[in-house]
């Protein structure tokens, strides 16, 4: 969860031709943990152009937000705890280039360990299956590196399925048949097969596929580097390239791919960072 109560306000007075003009950078949550989505708000940018920045060396895309600029960035769930540098630069209304920089301290999330036993064939892959899974992972990485330069999402993100329980399991460090595996990067909603799965927000259908681990999947591009993922689907109700609105059905719950029963695996990706998708539901962004 985003810790809204803890808001760090950093006042950075810049060396500029107009001394005293302050740029305020606010980071929410102020002390992020591994796997957190982070909002950066920059005030004092009225009339600014070319607002851009980075977090931990990764590019961060800003969008106009009221009288300020804001950006959504992610801390990967396996990021090393400790300092992460951020940097913001822009051209002010008078045409002067300005910049600000600082560091965030990322805390360890303390993700639980989950031990699973699965059929050997789904864990110890034969070379062909391994090649296929590697190719599919590479295809997803290429997609996450593709940043649509406009924000397609608006307002709150909705839960993608009407489930009996809130989705959980993010960050679980998995030990499958006694061997450490990739951590669980989504949240799982258990629901009956055939239950409609809806778009969490407005976006473009960036990818449909039948993947070894993910099964039948839909990936939505929400712009500015944010993607949401819907895995193990039974059916798909959209086509690639199609724009979908928040709440629009994209498919139905299933158990395709590596799955032990009908459920929706819902995940969020910000660039290369795997972030906790349930944080999208409580983002403090109003429009």
Under the rule (CB under 5 A), what is the footprint of Zn ion? 186, 188, 265
Q: How far is the CB of 277 from Zn ion (least distance, A)?
A: 10
Min separation Cβ 79 and Zn ion, Å: 20
Q: How far is CA 244 from CA 32, 198, 206, in A?
A: 31, 9, 11
Helix or strand (DSSP H, E) at 90: strand 82-91
Cβ contact 265:186 at 8 Å: yes
Residue closer to Zn ion (CB basis): 186 or 254:
186
Phi-psi map region of 194: left, alpha, beta (phi>0 left; psi -120 to 50 alpha): left
For the chain, the distance separating the N- and C-terminal CA atoms, rounded to the nearest angstrom, is 20
Q: Which helix (H) or strand (E) holds 41?
A: strand 37-43
- When CB distances to Zn ion are compared, the closest residue is 265
Q: Which is nearer to Zn ion, 202 or 258 (CB)?
A: 258
Question: Under a CB-based contact definition with an 8 Å cutoff, are residues 246 and 201 in contact?
Answer: yes
Q: Per the structure block, which two tokens stand in for 102?
A: 């600082």
How near is the Cβ of 163 to Zn ion at its closest, in Å?
Answer: 13
Question: Residue 188 CB, nearest distance to Zn ion (Å)?
Answer: 4
Beta strand pairing call for 58-65 and 97-106:
unpaired
Do 167 and 278 form a contact (C-beta atoms < 8 A)?
yes
98 vs 274, which CB is nearer to Zn ion?
274
Tell me the closest approach of the beta carbon of residue 187 to Zn ion, in angstroms: 7
Give SS3 for 201.
coil
Residue with Cβ nearer Zn ion (71 or 250): 250
Nearer to Zn ion, 144 or 172 (CB): 172
- Residue 184 is classified by DSSP as P
Nearer Cβ to Zn ion, position 85 or 166? 166
Closest CB 140 distance from Zn ion, rounded Å: 15
């Amino acid at each position: 969860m985003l810790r809204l109560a803890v808001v760090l306000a950093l006042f950075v007075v810049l060396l500029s031709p107009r001394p005293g003009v302050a740029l305020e950078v606010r980071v929410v949550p102020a002390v992020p943990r591994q796997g957190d989505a982070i909002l950066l708000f920059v005030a004092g940018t009225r009339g600014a152009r070319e607002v851009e920045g980075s977090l931990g060396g990764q590019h961060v895309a800003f969008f106009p937000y009221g009288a300020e600029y804001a950006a959504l960035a992610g801390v990967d769930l396996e990021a090393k705890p400790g300092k992460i540098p951020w940097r913001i630069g822009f051209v002010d209304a008078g045409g002067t280039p300005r910049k600000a920089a600082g560091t965030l301290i990322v805390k360890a999330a303390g993700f639980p360990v989950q031990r699973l036993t699965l059929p050997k064939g789904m864990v110890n892959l034969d070379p062909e299956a391994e090649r296929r899974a590697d190719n599919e992972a590479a295809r997803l990485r290429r997609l996450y590196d593709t940043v649509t330069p406009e924000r397609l999402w608006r307002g709150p993100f909705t839960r993608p399925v009407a489930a009996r329980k809130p989705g959980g399991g993010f960050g679980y460090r998995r030990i499958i048949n006694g061997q450490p595996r990739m951590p669980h990067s989504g949240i799982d909603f258990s629901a009956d097969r055939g239950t409609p799965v809806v778009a969490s927000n407005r976006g473009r259908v960036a990818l449909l596929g039948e993947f070894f681990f993910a099964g039948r999947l839909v990936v939505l591009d929400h712009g500015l580097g944010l993607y949401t993922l819907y895995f193990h689907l039974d059916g798909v109700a959209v086509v690639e390239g199609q724009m979908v609105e928040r709440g629009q059905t994209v498919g139905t719950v299933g158990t395709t791919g590596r799955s032990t029963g009908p459920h929706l695996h819902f995940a969020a990706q910000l660039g290369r960072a795997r972030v906790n998708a349930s944080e999208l539901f409580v983002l403090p962004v109003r429009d």
